[in-house]
């Protein structure tokens, strides 16, 4: 099966109380729908960094997030991950304040997963940043996980045969 690295924003949105903010509500709905309908199609991975982030904040909410993550395999957070994350920051592909986001990208790349699933479109799933991140990962000789959001999995183009006619 294809493999997916689950980044913190996925479990945060999937477990949060429904938001009154319509944009956040859509993200929550997409994360929950992906988790409920798609996760069984993939080998799921996360990292200690995600577990650490998920454990922060309200104890009850943290427990909900950690419950979703409890059966996922952990990718290593080793020197190679830290080196690649450092390169992402040193090359200004991500700002210093996004050091944890750089760790997510580096961990997914070093682990060789097929997808990095995120709803962080500011620093990770950003169309301006991704091509340069992919080029750097290729230059460094590590895999390039496809960085995507749950929304990109929720509609199968093969189900829409009328659009082809």
* Run means of pLDDT, 10 residues per run, the chain, 165 residues: 97 95 96 95 97 96 96 96 97 95 97 97 93 96 95 72 50
Residue 70's alpha-carbon distances to 36, 50, 65, 107, in angstroms, are 16, 11, 9, 18
- The reply to whether 121 falls in a domain is yes
- pTM as predicted: 0.91
- The reply to whether 158 falls in a domain is no
- The reply to whether 162 falls in a domain is no
- The reply to whether 24 falls in a domain is yes
- Note the pLDDT of residue 153: 87
- The reply to whether 41 falls in a domain is yes
- Note the pLDDT of residue 162: 52
- Note the pLDDT of residue 165: 47
The count of structural domains within the chain is: 1
- The reply to whether 164 falls in a domain is no
Question: How many Cβ atoms from other residues are within 10 Å of residue 132's Cβ?
Answer: 15
Helix (H, G, I), strand (E, B) or coil at 108: helix
Q: How far apart are CA 142 and CA 84, in angstroms?
A: 9
Asked if 113 and 84 count as a contact pair (C-beta separation under 8 A), the reply is no
Q: Tell me the residue range of the domain where 31 lies.
A: 3-153
Exposed / middle / buried, residue 145 (Cβ in 10 Å: 0-12, 13-18, 19+): buried
Q: How far apart are CA 31 and CA 25, in angstroms?
A: 10
CATH number of the domain encompassing residue 129: 3.40.50.1010
Asked if 151 and 13 count as a contact pair (C-beta separation under 8 A), the reply is no
- Note the pLDDT of residue 90: 97
- Note the pLDDT of residue 160: 56
């Amino acid at each position: 099966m294809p493999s997916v690295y689950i980044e913190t924003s996925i479990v945060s949105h999937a477990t949060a109380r429904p938001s009154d903010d319509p944009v956040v509500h859509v993200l929550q709905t997409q994360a929950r729908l992906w988790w409920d309908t798609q996760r069984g199609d993939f080998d799921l991975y996360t990292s200690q960094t995600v577990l650490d982030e998920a454990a922060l904040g309200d104890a009850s909410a943290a427990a909900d997030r950690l419950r979703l993550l409890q059966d996922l395999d952990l990718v290593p957070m080793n020197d190679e991950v830290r080196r690649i994350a450092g390169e992402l920051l040193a090359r200004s592909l991500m700002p210093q304040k996004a050091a944890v986001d750089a760790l997510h990208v580096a961990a997914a790349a070093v682990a060789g997963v097929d997808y990095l699933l995120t709803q962080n479109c500011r620093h990770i799933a950003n169309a301006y940043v991704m091509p340069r991140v992919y080029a750097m990962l290729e230059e460094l000789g590590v895999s390039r996980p496809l960085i995507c959001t749950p929304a990109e999995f929720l509609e199968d183009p093969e189900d829409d045969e009328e659009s082809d006619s």
